Structure 1
């Protein structure tokens, strides 16, 4: 399924894109049975410590269609520090031996208030539509809840993401807490992402 094509307002400041971020939480573990693994899928396998170059391959390939840019801006030393932290888990799934997507869990706040965060979750473009996404998210959610002391799960999504992302999180048991409207720099115009990224979102007006 192709993402919906955007239409940008005419009065946006040069170089800016509008985005709405939705923050969600899950207050109790899933009640039903776990989803069945899609045929042919291997993993998830935890990559730890995840080599930064491999992580950037995953992050960039999964995130280019949705304008993921935060980790692209991150200094290599800081990214390596995050990936070496035992509280950060990067779990990769493969199809036919080829990486198909990943889910990243962050237990940084687990000891403080019982929060597990789904920091990143997504599929390679070629793997979308094969039933892998709902299964991988369900698998990750159950893994997060299995951590001793886990009392809530958090995640966020935004209007740059696939149009079905918010609905998927809600079907999994997450409920929206609040939203935030922002104007952000178009990362394709700043050089962080290629101009061909996220073709469903028109380029911002050039400064």
Structure 2
């Protein structure tokens, strides 16, 4: 038995007010899926963003992820973050329009034979516009250009409610589910207090 992560038993479990509980779904594709057509681009492009400046990277990370409680890269030590985003096995792309960065795509090839879709996010103004399909098609193309046998991603119910279905339509199949407990970053000042209005902050009694 895994003593650090004992199996959950049926029932309800109280979560402290300063913590979050989320269901994480892991998905993978083992072969490249049939291509899906891009919608009209409306001036959007997916461009390589090699070795981005830390501040610029964090700004885009927050822009696309703060309302979904993305926090890991926002609070990571600079040295650790720079080691990741400057690693030649990590490819970073930005979705742009007229030079403005509106989407973040990060592919992690550090595990031999695999690619993790590490981050995939759009500015709120692009959600529902077809931009996600354009960026996903680019992600699939870039991932399967390499000699990989597995492309994988995980999402959770703090993400956009359409995210899981979008990944499945894109060719990813769910294979594992986990429960994650973490501190609420809005209560520690790591993210703005009004972020992720769809997931309310609980006040301790």
Give the TM-score normalised by the residue count of structure 2. 0.89
Instruction: Deviation per CA, 1:71-125: give whole Å up to 9, x if none.
Output: 1221011111111111111111112332120210000013xxx111100001011
Q: Give the Cα separation in 1 of the matches to 2:14 and 2:154.
A: 27
* One of 156, 170, 179 as aligned partner of 2:168: 170
User: Contact 2:73–2:81 (CA<8 Å) still a contact in 1?
Assistant: yes
Note the residue ranges of structure 2 that are not aligned, 5 or more in a row: 1-11
1:133-165 deviations in Å (ceiling 9; x for gaps): 122112111210111x21110100011000100
- Pick the aligned partner of 2:17 from 9, 14, 18: 14
Q: Matched residues in 1 for 2:53 and 2:99: separation?
A: 18
Unmatched 5+ stretches in structure 1: 1-8
**Corresponding residue number in structure 2 for 1:86:** 88
Measured in 2, the distance between the counterparts of 1:118 and 1:75 equals 22
TM-score relative to the length of structure 1:
0.88
Q: Indicate whether 1:119 and 2:118 are aligned.
A: yes
Moved more, 93-102 or 134-143: 93-102
Distance in structure 2 (CA, Å) of the matches to 1:10 and 1:205: 18
CA–CA distance in 1 between the matches of 2:149 and 2:127?
31
For residues 133 and 72 of structure 1, the distance between their equivalents in structure 2, rounded to whole angstroms, comes to 22
Q: Cα distance, 1:42 vs. partner?
A: 3.6
8 A contact 1:25–1:155 mirrored in 2: yes
Shift of 1:37: 5.3
Dislocated runs of 4+, deviation >3 Å? none
Q: CA deviation at 1:167?
A: 0.4
- CA offset at residue 60 of structure 1? 0.6
Find 2:37's aligned residue among 31, 35, 38: 35
C-alpha deviation, 1:41, in angstroms? 3.0
What number of residue pairs does the alignment pair up?
Answer: 194
Q: Which residue of 2 aligns with 1:6?
A: none
TM superposition shift of 1:34: 4.4
